[in-house]
A and B are shown apart, each in its own frame.
Chain A
């Protein structure tokens, strides 16, 4: 019950934040693709809640020693091609993030459309206190099929 309420709150919060962010951006630079960013984030959140949440959790905090957190980590905020490849091919290495190790298997999500992968990664890069550029569909398309 509480979690429902909290996720609702979180969603409302995200929505408001994104909205106000979008509005601010509209005022400052009307040509900036803020509206498309917020649309991508909103679509990405749906993908996240369907495919990612059970391991990475509602708040992106992951699970101690098992599933990596998505909050302000170099994997999430760094080179986009790296996380695009992780989503496309999965990940099953023991990995150290901020001093802790994580070892669970992540399957490939190559059944998702390029648009869905771009959206979910844009959502992750702009949620959980993260702030980073959007992932474009073309960036996913370019990497699909490459190891």
Chain B
């Protein structure tokens, strides 16, 4: 895998046409990358370019009106002691992108800009950096720690973050479990009574945006019963939090007598939820079945694939097929794309693994139209072929895997790829 990666990086480094590298005297090494056309499949009128590449495990992404792009990278801190977690790019607007700087000694997923601060998360903490009037980080060596001590136990450890317009920070704390079994992922193991994981994970926690060193006790469990959320966005039209849940895995592996391999590949749904304070989405007691359009009692808690449950749990706004792994959510508020995209949701699906031995799926960005704050009509695949071929999709050997989404100042959208560190820019031209 490493070798393959090395060869690919070498090849692409050699092959990329127009990669200009220069050193400014007295300054750090700066590289400017000329955009190259990306082989994505898009609706008519759209085009995609690769504006940066080989930036590592690039996860979420935040933009400024001045054209700067902050990209959060995950890395293996045990092996890369000198790695940096945040890369600053500048979209020059002429088809070139400059890597301005790299900073931040922590790995992780989340990055968000609000009210003059850049927020970024590791798997246990949230930091912020003060920005100047050009939205540039003033001192990259001295972040302020806003939240600390969050649970991170090998499963669903990524902490997605965002802020609202009222001085609140929202942090996803994923469940350190698949379905809260007595023995995680073990065949036939039943669910823990009164699932204790819900006390400190499997939900969205709300903290103050400006108070340093907050712990769990300083925060509020804003929403619960969410197994794991990576993609989330603040809907400015409704002034409301929306999240995409990663649904549970392995119905067949754990309960082979109740679920076939084929059912297990498609179920349960990956759900988009509109969240209000105090909402419960039902994990681990129920899952949403997009074929029956029902909340179904989890087999770990006495379900059989048919019995319904979760009377107090909210229903999804949209239910997508299983295991596609939604990692990015973006409500489009720009003016560049055609009118139908306005206020609709783009969702980056990282792609499945839990469908094996059935064909894998995903590795695309979909669009869900919205009208008057409600989903309107069917979702459609917007950007496809990140995987490189249908065979790569089916086998799960995708070349690129879409993860983070952000809107550029000019109304284009950026998509990160956390497999090879590519950054895509998708634009519309009439």
Classify the interface of chain B: helix, strand, loop or mixed.
Answer: loop
Do B154 and A93 have beta carbons less than 8 Å apart? yes
Classify the interface of chain A: helix, strand, loop or mixed.
Answer: loop
A141 lies within 8 A of chain B by Cβ: no
Q: How far is the CA of A94 from the CA of B249 in the complex (A)?
A: 20
Stretch at the interface among B60-68, B181-189, B303-311: B181-189
A139 lies within 8 A of chain B by Cβ: no
- Write the nearest CB–CB distance from A114 to chain B, whole angstroms: 17
- Write the nearest CB–CB distance from B105 to chain A, whole angstroms: 17
A17 lies within 8 A of chain B by Cβ: no
Stretch at the interface among A52-60, A79-87, A115-123, A127-135: A52-60
Do B359 and A58 have beta carbons less than 8 Å apart? no
- Write the nearest CB–CB distance from A74 to chain B, whole angstroms: 14
**Which of B57, B186, B256, B354 is the one whose CB lies under 8 Å from A107?**
B186
Q: Give the residue name and chain of the A residue nearest to B78 (CB).
A: A96
B390 lies within 8 A of chain A by Cβ: yes
Q: A93-B154, A103-B157, A105-B155 are in contact. Are A66 and B183 (CB under 8 A)?
A: no
**Which of A54, A59, A67, A107 is the one whose CB lies under 8 Å from B184?**
A107
Do A2 and B394 have beta carbons less than 8 Å apart? yes
Residues of chain A with a CB closer than 8 A to B395's CB: 3, 6, 58-59
Do A107 and B187 have beta carbons less than 8 Å apart? yes
Do A69 and B1 have beta carbons less than 8 Å apart? yes
Q: How far is the CA of A55 from the CA of B187 in the complex (A)?
A: 14
**Which of A3, A59, A107 is the one whose CB lies under 8 Å from B358?**
A3
A106 lies within 8 A of chain B by Cβ: yes
Do A100 and B185 have beta carbons less than 8 Å apart? no
Q: Give the residue name and chain of the A residue nearest to B264 (CB).
A: A54
Q: How far is the CA of A94 from the CA of B78 in the complex (A)?
A: 10
B419 lies within 8 A of chain A by Cβ: yes
Do A61 and B397 have beta carbons less than 8 Å apart? yes
Q: A61-B397, A96-B78 are in contact. Are A107 and B183 (CB under 8 A)?
A: yes
Chain B residues with a Cβ closer than 8 Å to the other chain, count? 40
- Chain B residues 208-257 with CB under 8 Å of chain A are 249-250, 252-253, 256
Do A63 and B155 have beta carbons less than 8 Å apart? no
Q: A54-B250, A54-B253, A96-B76 are in contact. Are A2 and B391 (CB under 8 A)?
A: yes
- Write the nearest CB–CB distance from A39 to chain B, whole angstroms: 22
Chain A residues with a Cβ closer than 8 Å to the other chain, count? 37
Residues of chain A with a CB closer than 8 A to B2's CB: 98-100
Do A58 and B76 have beta carbons less than 8 Å apart? no
**Which of B1, B184, B264, B396 is the one whose CB lies under 8 Å from A105?**
B184
Q: How far is the CA of A96 from the CA of B76 in the complex (A)?
A: 9
- Write the nearest CB–CB distance from A41 to chain B, whole angstroms: 18
A-B contacts, 19 listed (Cβ < 8 Å): A3-B359, A3-B360, A3-B394, A6-B395, A51-B187, A55-B356, A57-B396, A58-B356, A58-B395, A61-B396, A63-B396, A92-B154, A96-B78, A99-B76, A101-B78, A103-B154, A105-B178, A105-B185, A107-B185
Q: Give me the 9 closest cross-chain CB pairs, A-B, nearest first.
A: A107-B186, A63-B353, A107-B185, A103-B154, A3-B359, A101-B76, A99-B2, A2-B394, A105-B184
B residues touching A (Cβ–Cβ < 8 Å)?
A: 1-2, 57, 76, 78-79, 154-155, 157, 177-178, 183-189, 249-250, 252-253, 256, 264, 353-360, 390-391, 394-397, 401, 419
**Extra pairs beyond A3-B357, A96-B79 (12, CB < 8 Å):** A3-B394, A6-B395, A50-B256, A54-B250, A58-B395, A63-B396, A67-B353, A93-B154, A94-B154, A96-B76, A99-B76, A104-B154
